[in-house]
Structure 1
Amino acid sequence: MPVPSPSHHVRASDARRVRDLLRIAVAGRARTGDLLPGEDELMVGHGVPRSAVRAALGLLREEGLLRPGPTAHRIVARPHYPGRTAVTGTGTRVPRWLERTGIAAPDVLADWLGVPVGTPCLRTECVSETAGGGAVLETHYLATEAAALLLAVPGTGPFDRQLADAGLRPARAGTRSGPVPADPDSAALLGVAAGAPLLGAERTLTGDDGRVLAVSVLRADPAGSVPVARDGAAAAQPDSSARTASSESASAGVLSGR
């Protein structure tokens, strides 16, 4: 059974944000058997209430990645990334922008962006059309300098076009991807059934100078081309599985697992 949507006391985007960043931490830095930080530490680190932390942990439990313990959640599996498929919105329809929010970068996001913990960052979220007629929920993060340039251009077109209009032209793109189950809120935004297999991807865009311009978490229903995870363990894989983080990724602390 999919985890129910967070209560009205929890912003769904907050729960998704914490879930995504914890998922990246589990994939890149942790090992099976490790304990995640406790709820209090996660609340402070991510700047969200306990209810949002609990909702995020519930989504990761549903993926089969965590097991609750007496003091904290234990990691029982790690996300499985069998490919490097790009799933950005490239359709003809104008994206449906959901929000632009300023946040202080928690440790995982700071490592990924290559900035100090607590650096002000811009988080944007939209639903776009894929080239194949599917839909993708895009969440993008930019640090202060890049965010200021992006905010100076009209915020109506696709994210990658906005980057180009802002003069932020990446020299390299590092992507890793794999099947993930649709949580109820993402499912509602994408128009699919809760628990349906989506293609999940994490992307890093790097400039000529080696600095990270933007990082993204993407959840896509690319017109039925998503592989179905076997044995009912959508997106979960034991720690011994080979990881396929792109060697082009500039977020070495997270995407390469160092």
Structure 2
Amino acid sequence: MSSSAPERRLRADRARQAADVIRQQVVQRAFPDGVLPDEMFLATEFSVSRNTIREALDLLREEGLIERVPGVGTVVVTEKYAHGLNHLMGLAETLHEHGEVTNDVRAAGPIKPPSPVAQRLRLGDGEQVVYVERLRRLNGLPLSLDLTYLAMDVGLPLLDEDLRHRDIFSLIEQTSGQRLGTAAVTLEAVNADLHAATVLEVPKGAALLVVERLSHFADGRPVDLEFIRMRGDRLTMRAECRRTP
């Protein structure tokens, strides 16, 4: 093995460490004018060489987060939005300060659910659900593809409501007169298949965050099962966790 291999590995490790911190600063909008500090400042900040910082910035450039602009410096070209997991909220409720969330309703109506969906919603044999599929946008930009299964008595009234501009959660509470209580959430990363990539306007194989969320009324009844594909280059998940005995 070449004697320089450990040094290259160490520089790559340090570049990744710096990239992680800078990425979080971008998400938190720590650079108000959208321009990152120069390489010398960053090298001093992270106690690494300029070459290491260049590797870190290259990582973020490959993610599409920043770009080098001659005469200006390294600038943020893509915003990422924090989506909190602490509260049971819809996308428009979560991102309201960042602009307008709209929904392209791709499908909406009663269907016979797959048996795993019926089981999760505690439905009897032969019971239908209301299926709603939406492409969700923030200021016109595609953010997520949401596939939602709703219990019939909860979902049918929603078909007469403004699904284009309203979150389903707020509509459920408005039309049912009941409060949502808890949700079980599973989060995983997948590569975008050709169909999802086309709809979300990302390259095939791009990173997506897939959220499965089963929401319940306050009395514990499951009423809303969602499979949400989120653009990994636009959304970051955030939660506050407490260690308990």
TM-score by length of 1: 0.49
Report the CA distance between 1:88 and its aligned residue: 5.2
Residue number in structure 2 paired with 1:159: 168
Report the CA distance between 1:181 and its aligned residue: 1.1
Cα distance change on mapping 1:154 and 1:130 into 2, 3 Å: closer
Residue number in structure 2 paired with 1:199: 209
- Which structure is richer in relative contact order (CA contacts within 8 A, separation 6 or more)? 1
Unaligned runs of 5+ in 2: 1-84, 238-245
Q: How many residues align?
A: 143
Letter in 2 for 1:145: D
Cα separation, 2, equivalents of 1:93 and 1:178: 23
Structure number with greater Rg is 2
Do residues 112 (structure 1) and 114 (structure 2) align? no
Report the CA distance between 1:211 and its aligned residue: 0.9
Higher share in strand: 2
Letter in 2 for 1:186: A
Cα separation, 1, equivalents of 2:186 and 2:131: 20
Residue number in structure 1 paired with 2:144: 136
Residue number in structure 1 paired with 2:20: none
Cα separation, 1, equivalents of 2:159 and 2:179: 15
Q: Secondary structure at the match of 1:118?
A: coil
Residue number in structure 2 paired with 1:234: none
Report the CA distance between 1:134 and its aligned residue: 5.8
Q: Secondary structure at the match of 2:199?
A: helix
Cα distance change on mapping 1:144 and 1:224 into 2, 3 Å: closer
Higher share in helix: 2
TM-score by length of 2: 0.52
Q: CA RMSD in A?
A: 2.7
**Fraction of identical pairs, as percent:** 21
Cα separation, 1, equivalents of 2:90 and 2:191: 18
Residue number in structure 1 paired with 2:110: 102
Deviations 1:128-174 (A, max 9, x none): 1369x760001110121112232343332232232233235311121
Letter in 1 for 2:216: T
